[in-house]
Structure 1
Amino acid sequence: MPFEIVRNDITKMYADAIVNSANPMPIIGGSVDLLIHQAAGPELIVARKEIGKINVGDAKLTKAFQLNAKYVIHTVGPAWVDGKHNEFELLQKCYEESLKLADINQCASIAFPLISTGTYGFPKDKALKIATEVIQSFLNTHEMTVYLVVYDESSFKLSEKLFDKISAYIDKNYIEEHEMKFFSSDINLSMIPDEEEYQPIVSRSENISIQKKREWKDLSDEIGETFSEALLRLIDERGKKDAEIYHLANIDRKLFSKIRSNKDYQPSKMTAIALSVALHLNLDETKDLIGRAGFALTKSNLSDIIFMYFIEHKIYDIYEINKVLFFYNLKELGGI
């Protein structure tokens, strides 16, 4: 998928460019900067010294040496003061300048750390919001795979407001569903009538006779639109362009082309839901579209509960949904 949040050590990532949250001076700092220099080898600091001082918000490029990448993009994030010293604008510029450098150097993929959230103390939820907004804006007009690499659970934080709302919705729907299943298992089976008490409306032989009379054409007529046919119809009805939809769905052009060119294409559930979100479908419309690919939404599945929350509240932002899925260690929306 074009954008993905991953839990990993950034020095272990395979990408054309790896972004280093660098010290402004050509010295090895702490945290991500130290890890990247250790993994890249001594050549990296030599190349970094050739650049000299980097201003806050700027980005510079060197070779990656022993890393699993072509380039290291060094950017200097702002130290958090109180949010009133241009911290937001400078952090935004870090991502923008890094993406611009990656694009100029024809990178197909780039891996970012959550810049400034370590020793510089930028609040993690605010830094995450800026990162995803800049990346989303960039991917609306560019083809690139962007990874946001989070080292561990302590490095990632949702906004308190969103977390509280999601938690309450999960408690009400997901947990209640499981409680109902638990209590339903205590039903006395002796209360259920024996099978022989029921009489079929038609006999077995009559049933077979009726089935034989049915034509294949009748069956094919009942099948109706495939997922691909319904998707393309919905795009046309809403006056949208293909590129707009696949960007909003966090899927790449190649995958969308496969769906468009094959009326019987079978998407993954995550791709089907992502396209439903991109089309701003309500819950019933979403169930209908993904049902054409053989999928359903249920309250016994935590991912589905999260999808239903966002759809019911008309929050059609894949990046916001994926932040919550990542927080709960669930697969993110989109596709490749």
Structure 2
Amino acid sequence: MKIEVWQGDITTLAVDAIVNAANESLLGGGGVDGAIHRAAGPQLLDACRALPEIRPGMRCPTGEVRQTPAFNLPAKHVFHTVGPVWQDGLRDEPALLANCYWKSLQLAEKLDVESIAFPAISCGVFGYPLHQAAHIAATETLTWQRSHRQPRRIILVAYNAATFKAYQSALAALGQPVEPSTSAIFAPLALGLPPAAAH
């Protein structure tokens, strides 16, 4: 098994679970968070509101994960995880970002999820440096896959060419070269989906 890399819109993927790069409120936002909420429909916001607050305005602390159904998405589950806001890299940002991946994979195993797709967590408005974040994503997913049977398919979704190349470089540095054909794993013909647009 290999970690797969695909460039496009994560909301179009017919996988068991997609991971949402959320904020602590879980009430939607910009970037991939907003795209997932729009594609899933208003029921997703209702499901997030129903999750218990740890304190006012916080349903999921940084580095943790919460699960909801996927509603109108082709996926079955949405795993909402809150990545760290980049400051200087010395405030536990790497460990917190690693937790986002690891705890999402733990939840996937618990729910017997066979396929899971991750966006580039914290690389949007949270400002995490792309290549550092890609290295953490590659390290955590490869480490998991080498010692666990589920999920069988782990997909790192790149929303643009720069992110795709960052994932390629990170995986290659860890001994898993990414072939160019990997970007077509979820081609429209294979899944019966319209062409995905990056966001």
RMSD between aligned residues: 2.4
| Cα distance between partner residues in 2 of 1:126 and 1:316 | 13
Quote the offset at 1:73 in angstroms: 0.1
SS at match of 1:331: helix
Contact between 1:114 and 1:127, CA under 8 Å: does it hold in 2?
A: yes
Q: Which runs of 4+ in 1 moved over 2 A?
A: 154-159
The residue correspondences of 1:170-319 to structure 2 (distance < 5 A) are 317-318=175-176
Q: When the two structures are superposed, what TM-score results if normalisation uses the length of structure 1?
A: 0.49
Is 1:145 the counterpart of 2:3? The answer is no
Q: In 2 relative to 1, CA 68–57 (structure 1 residues): closer, same or farther, beyond 3 Å?
A: same
1:126 maps to 132
Among residues 112, 115, 118, which one is paired with 2:118 in the alignment?
112
Deviations 1:169-228 (A, max 9, x none): xxxxxxxxxxxxxxxxxxxxxxxxxxxxxxxxxxxxxxxxxxxxxxxxxxxxxxxxxxxx
| Cα distance between partner residues in 2 of 1:102 and 1:34 | 22
Q: What letter corresponds to residue 111 of structure 2 in structure 1?
A: N
What residue ranges of structure 1 are gaps of 5+ in the alignment?
164-309
Q: Which has the higher helix share?
A: 1
Question: Which protein shows a greater Rg?
Answer: 1
The residue correspondences of 1:15-26 to structure 2 (distance < 5 A) are 15-26=15-26
1:94 maps to 100
Quote the offset at 1:17 in angstroms: 0.3
SS at match of 2:44: helix
- Percentage of matched positions with identical amino acids: 39
Contact between 2:61 and 2:82, CA under 8 Å: does it hold in 1?
A: yes
1:40 maps to 40
1:155 maps to 163
1:50 maps to 50
Quote the offset at 1:316 in angstroms: 7.2
SS at match of 2:181: coil
1:103 maps to 109
Larger relative contact order, structure 1 or 2 (CA cutoff 8 Å, min sep 6):
2
| Cα distance between partner residues in 2 of 1:21 and 1:9 | 14
Q: Which has the higher strand share?
A: 2
Quote the offset at 1:49 in angstroms: 1.0
Quote the offset at 1:154 in angstroms: 3.5
Quote the offset at 1:331 in angstroms: 2.5
Aligned length: 175
Quote the offset at 1:60 in angstroms: 0.6
| Cα distance between partner residues in 2 of 1:95 and 1:316 | 17
| Cα distance between partner residues in 1 of 2:100 and 2:41 | 24
SS at match of 2:73: coil
What residue ranges of structure 2 are gaps of 5+ in the alignment?
54-58, 186-199
